[in-house]
Amino acid sequence: MRGAVTNINTIKNFMGNARRDIHNEYLFEALQAANEALQKQIAQEVQNVYPTKVKETAIYKLTGDCPICSAPVPVEQRYCWSCGQRLDWSKNRPIEKKWR
């Protein structure tokens, strides 16, 4: 995934230095959109992990803030519901205990 982002950025930089006309402008905008979409697929570590109480219950869920838009996201979500950024919970997942 990161290789694709690097390739797109290289092409964008080349085009930015070249003479731009209307056809190049459309291609440049398409590359920008592709770059933004790929960046959202690279998991970013969740920020500010904290427990939140589920309404009208005695249950607490682990929640974290999206690193891009700061929206609160429950631990079971792989993507931010607000901006679509893929999330990395690997450092913040609760330890699962196995009972015999």
In contact, 59 and 53? CB cutoff 8 Å: yes
Average pLDDT, rounded, for the chain: 80
What's the pLDDT at 98? 42
Query: Domain extents for the chain?
Result: 2-41, 44-88
Output helix, strand, coil percentages for the chain, rounded to the nearest 5.
Answer: 35, 20, 40
62-85: pLDDT as tens digits: 899 999 999 999 988 999 999 999
Residues 6+ apart with CB under 8 A from 12: 28, 31, 32, 35
